[in-house]
Chain A
């Protein structure tokens, strides 16, 4: 392939600090309007800073140009297909941004007297009620800031639940297909992970589960599961799994990263789960922001409720002809306590509640149905032709909202690693699927199209895969050296880790 540098590639990356020029500025500040006492008369000199931090000196037009140009070096969901498995890259409605920016939301101080924040508390309560219905569990805390924060909350709840019963348990079971956050949260919560094997249908290997429960009798605090799991399949044995865990005295935790598959179709609470986290930035349309913000509310069963984080949003019935009111309940003696400052990522709650109102119960059900239809359709397209030969599905059955392909034959037959395919997809204008996860599948590619995508997009993606594989039959180096058209080409990640440069050296 002829390597002609694109205009964006030719543009050398310069940071805003490098664009700084002494004497330039953007901010115009108001006058203090009060006596101009020397600082050292107000704060002892030894606590003061000698020199201001070396922030850039730059004008407003230059700031705007800098960040707009930088933005063009990003791929984004609004521009193209983003089938990143387990991430649920669905459309981010701009209505939600508009209502979140209303001054009554955006400029509401978190310590405002609850009597003067009734709209915000009611909104939070309504969101709790909605998530409770969707999850099939009676109580919700909105406090956790993201999915992994919800996991930590769930494990701390489990610890509190057992402690209250005079038990101390030390182990948490998780399948070998689990998200990396699961075992990381287990360690943070002071437990030890015990891995459970996967069966030939992609579900929990029941014999292994029974064996692990027997080996660790009275030690198992919890089983963490995703259902549908990270292979995109629904574990049909979930009811039996739930009773095994409950009989062993453990709690059952639902990693809600894949909830987008089942909204209105099946509920974690009805499956027997005690604790569920919901990623509002996945199923409920909060934009991902290039790595947050999100929110990870948890829904729990009655027996877990006493331990929920505080404060908890509550609704109080009115008296003397007044309507109900809403409050923050801090008086929760068995609570695990706070997990963060104030009440949670309220701006995210506004967006997700607006999304739930827009779709309604029927719309959410339809969203999940379309997500599953899109995934199965794309899976069917990729079962044909070259993809079918080189990239077989890891577990050949109907999937839910995502599916996992194995690049093992592709690597053997064409010399192309999954990473190469992913990088070549960039030249075709697609964000690649999640790669090398789950770990159980060799050269894995995890594809989640979401309900957002039109049939034409799915067709074009399948066509791109087909073309890349066809190219590779003639010239595997094409993909191995890809991408060619992106703002930068393959980056040296080893160097970045061996000798990390994590900030600009300033003069």
Chain B
């Protein structure tokens, strides 16, 4: 029904005449006959715009989003408030519809945004070189592995179990390709086991991967842990949550060679996991090994300031099999969203937001652990997320709380068999004191009900939910 094309029957005829063929079908005759489909695609016919909207709206309403459920789920992506100007700016066609800026003279807007974004990310991470964004956090970490192999000519990685499970798995997936070994170091009291880490790093280690705050929300002492990497000449790669970098010591100050992470908290919506962006910053030493696009400042022939894609000799379209990475299309629009959000927060707002997160998180941690049947999973310092243990089956407790319109957190048992009773709770500026209090009440009631064996409605509930009624 909706075609998005402009050729009228008359146009088509004139065009066919100019080409010198009788029909468009003739143009497809270069496809050998047995390989032509010869039947319509088995897909429904097109629909009107109004019908498509209704169909998509209907599907969207079968999801329980943070719009209707109070969301305490984090685990790498967070329900922050994205200011309205982010949408207004990122939806401008001048930013939304161009390709990668291959023609800099007519792409100064996008290139300058990249330059500003790189400046902002360098400030946050305390490292002098930033790229203009990668796909998302976990694949950015795997790309750091590829860089480390090139930089050190070694093929062994040591990674903390506190790094996001998706990042650890993605690193393993990539490592099979470029042929590296991945050694995992466990946690002790919520933090990376420092002795085990020191023991695992050796002269064959290309990189040591840490995350702070780690997946359990604990703020790691990156500087102390990183000493093992420095001692053996391995690169120190630190994954971080950008929203905490207004208050926490930057990875650069802690000695990181590479700082990277999931950029979603900055100016990007949840979108069921994407698109967001991954940021990637490094020391000057690594500038020619960086993955992804990098904008650089230069001048035009008349001496005007301008920006171009710099250091392109790293990239696939120039270097082909010798490229430092294969990435082409990345996440430029999402990085713009981040830049606008950061400008909106500004130097002081960014720090204040970090402080607000820490204080509300401290309150929530105290409030929740006062509940009968809830105790801390670890006592390490936290910034915006913390882990607790429940004295009742986590999935059943979550189910009960969901019925009160609250998504209580992330069940750690999904990724950590040793924390089957663990729940990870995230705080954003949208989670008010009242909501935290309500979560505490709900948690108490749900645990009490589960301990009391009051599971009578469970089967009926499961059935209703299986039908997709959120």
User: Quick one: which of B12, B97, B119, B402 contacts A113, CB cutoff 8 A?
Assistant: B402
A82 CA / B312 CA spacing, docked (Å): 22
Please name the 3 residue pairs, one residue from A and one from B, whose CB atoms are nearest each other, closest first: A104-B60, A342-B273, A289-B333
Asked if A120 and B63 sit within 8 Å, CB to CB, the answer is yes
**B259 part of interface (Cβ distance < 8 Å):** no
A120 CA / B298 CA spacing, docked (Å): 45
A437 CA / B407 CA spacing, docked (Å): 51
A400 cross-chain contacts in B, Cβ below 8 A: 27, 30
B 1-29 binary contact with A (CB < 8 Å = 1; else 0) = 11111110001101110111100101111
**B236 part of interface (Cβ distance < 8 Å):** no
A290/B465 contact (C-beta < 8 A), A104-B60, A190-B179 known: no
Asked if B381 and A43 sit within 8 Å, CB to CB, the answer is yes
Asked if A146 and B249 sit within 8 Å, CB to CB, the answer is no
Q: Could you jot down 17 A-B contacts, CB within 8 Å?
A: A39-B358, A67-B336, A78-B94, A101-B87, A119-B58, A119-B60, A264-B37, A264-B41, A337-B173, A340-B170, A347-B272, A360-B47, A398-B27, A483-B106, A486-B106, A503-B118, A503-B130
Partner-binding segment picked from A151-159, A408-416, A467-475: A151-159
Asked if A322 and B463 sit within 8 Å, CB to CB, the answer is yes
Decide if the interface of chain A is mainly helix, strand, loop or mixed. loop
B119 cross-chain contacts in A, Cβ below 8 A: 15, 17, 503-504, 506
B 299-341 binary contact with A (CB < 8 Å = 1; else 0) = 1111011111011110111111111011111111110100110
**A73 part of interface (Cβ distance < 8 Å):** yes
**B166 part of interface (Cβ distance < 8 Å):** yes
A36 cross-chain contacts in B, Cβ below 8 A: 359
A3 cross-chain contacts in B, Cβ below 8 A: 302
A17 cross-chain contacts in B, Cβ below 8 A: 116, 119
11 further contact pairs, Cβ within 8 A, besides A98-B53, A361-B43 = A68-B92, A112-B64, A115-B465, A180-B328, A340-B135, A341-B166, A342-B76, A358-B49, A381-B18, A398-B27, A492-B299
B112 cross-chain contacts in A, Cβ below 8 A: 13, 15, 70, 73
Asked if B97 and A287 sit within 8 Å, CB to CB, the answer is yes
**B370 part of interface (Cβ distance < 8 Å):** no
User: Quick one: which of A30, A54, A116, A360 contacts B63, CB cutoff 8 A?
Assistant: A116
Asked if A39 and B355 sit within 8 Å, CB to CB, the answer is yes
Asked if A376 and B328 sit within 8 Å, CB to CB, the answer is no
A 444-468 binary contact with B (CB < 8 Å = 1; else 0) = 0000000111110000000000000
B289 to chain A, nearest CB (A): 13
**A283 part of interface (Cβ distance < 8 Å):** no
Asked if A357 and B44 sit within 8 Å, CB to CB, the answer is yes
A71/B321 contact (C-beta < 8 A), A340-B166, A367-B3 known: no
B 57-87 binary contact with A (CB < 8 Å = 1; else 0) = 1111111111111010101110100010101
Asked if B49 and A95 sit within 8 Å, CB to CB, the answer is yes
List residues 97-112 of chain B with CB under 8 A from any CB of chain A. Answer: 97-110, 112
A206 cross-chain contacts in B, Cβ below 8 A: none
A160 CA / B129 CA spacing, docked (Å): 35
Asked if B433 and A502 sit within 8 Å, CB to CB, the answer is no
B348 cross-chain contacts in A, Cβ below 8 A: 25, 52, 57
A170 to chain B, nearest CB (A): 11
A110 CA / B77 CA spacing, docked (Å): 8
**B120 part of interface (Cβ distance < 8 Å):** yes
**B183 part of interface (Cβ distance < 8 Å):** no
A146/B301 contact (C-beta < 8 A), A75-B106, A264-B41, A338-B169 known: no
**A490 part of interface (Cβ distance < 8 Å):** yes
Asked if A291 and B62 sit within 8 Å, CB to CB, the answer is no
**B372 part of interface (Cβ distance < 8 Å):** no
A104 cross-chain contacts in B, Cβ below 8 A: 57, 59-63, 65, 67
List residues 5-32 of chain A with CB under 8 A from any CB of chain B. Answer: 9, 12-13, 15-17, 20, 24-27, 29-30, 32
B345 cross-chain contacts in A, Cβ below 8 A: 26-27, 55
A86 to chain B, nearest CB (A): 10
Nearest A residue to B430 by beta-carbon distance? A30
User: Quick one: which of B4, B11, B298, B317 contacts A180, CB cutoff 8 A?
Assistant: B317
Asked if A32 and B359 sit within 8 Å, CB to CB, the answer is yes
Nearest B residue to A268 by beta-carbon distance? B35
Nearest A residue to B124 by beta-carbon distance? A53
By size class, the interface of chain B is: 35 or more
A339 to chain B, nearest CB (A): 6
A500/B98 contact (C-beta < 8 A), A148-B327, A336-B173, A373-B15 known: no
Partner-binding segment picked from A181-189, A212-220, A245-253: A181-189
A82 to chain B, nearest CB (A): 7
Asked if B18 and A288 sit within 8 Å, CB to CB, the answer is no
A187 CA / B339 CA spacing, docked (Å): 33
Partner-binding segment picked from B136-144, B196-204, B226-234, B442-450: B136-144
**B371 part of interface (Cβ distance < 8 Å):** no
Nearest A residue to B344 by beta-carbon distance? A26
Asked if B37 and A267 sit within 8 Å, CB to CB, the answer is yes
Asked if A130 and B328 sit within 8 Å, CB to CB, the answer is no
Asked if A64 and B88 sit within 8 Å, CB to CB, the answer is yes
A87/B99 contact (C-beta < 8 A), A60-B344, A146-B330, A189-B177 known: yes
A417 cross-chain contacts in B, Cβ below 8 A: none
Asked if B306 and A322 sit within 8 Å, CB to CB, the answer is no
Nearest B residue to A432 by beta-carbon distance? B103
A16 CA / B340 CA spacing, docked (Å): 10
User: Quick one: which of A27, A37, A133, A265 contacts B344, CB cutoff 8 A?
Assistant: A27
Asked if A180 and B249 sit within 8 Å, CB to CB, the answer is no
Asked if B128 and A503 sit within 8 Å, CB to CB, the answer is yes
Nearest A residue to B315 by beta-carbon distance? A180
User: Quick one: which of A189, A287, A496 contacts B96, CB cutoff 8 A?
Assistant: A287
B63 cross-chain contacts in A, Cβ below 8 A: 104-105, 108, 112, 116-120
**B151 part of interface (Cβ distance < 8 Å):** no
A338 CA / B250 CA spacing, docked (Å): 28
User: Quick one: which of B3, B53, B321 contacts A363, CB cutoff 8 A?
Assistant: B3
**B161 part of interface (Cβ distance < 8 Å):** no
**B186 part of interface (Cβ distance < 8 Å):** no
B101 cross-chain contacts in A, Cβ below 8 A: 290-291
**B187 part of interface (Cβ distance < 8 Å):** no
A68 cross-chain contacts in B, Cβ below 8 A: 89, 92
A334 to chain B, nearest CB (A): 13
Asked if B296 and A497 sit within 8 Å, CB to CB, the answer is yes
B297 cross-chain contacts in A, Cβ below 8 A: 496, 501-502
A 166-197 binary contact with B (CB < 8 Å = 1; else 0) = 00000000000000110111111110010000
A264 CA / B28 CA spacing, docked (Å): 11
User: Quick one: which of A287, A353, A496 contacts B310, CB cutoff 8 A?
Assistant: A496
A453 CA / B166 CA spacing, docked (Å): 42
Asked if B344 and A373 sit within 8 Å, CB to CB, the answer is no
Nearest B residue to A34 by beta-carbon distance? B363
Most buried by A among B61, B169, B270: B270
A205 to chain B, nearest CB (A): 18
Asked if A190 and B178 sit within 8 Å, CB to CB, the answer is yes
A453/B347 contact (C-beta < 8 A), A43-B219, A47-B219, A341-B167 known: no
A454 CA / B296 CA spacing, docked (Å): 36
List residues 364-398 of chain A with CB under 8 A from any CB of chain B. Answer: 364-367, 369-370, 372-374, 376-377, 379-381, 397-398
Nearest A residue to B108 by beta-carbon distance? A73
A263 cross-chain contacts in B, Cβ below 8 A: 41
Most buried by B among A67, A82, A397: A67
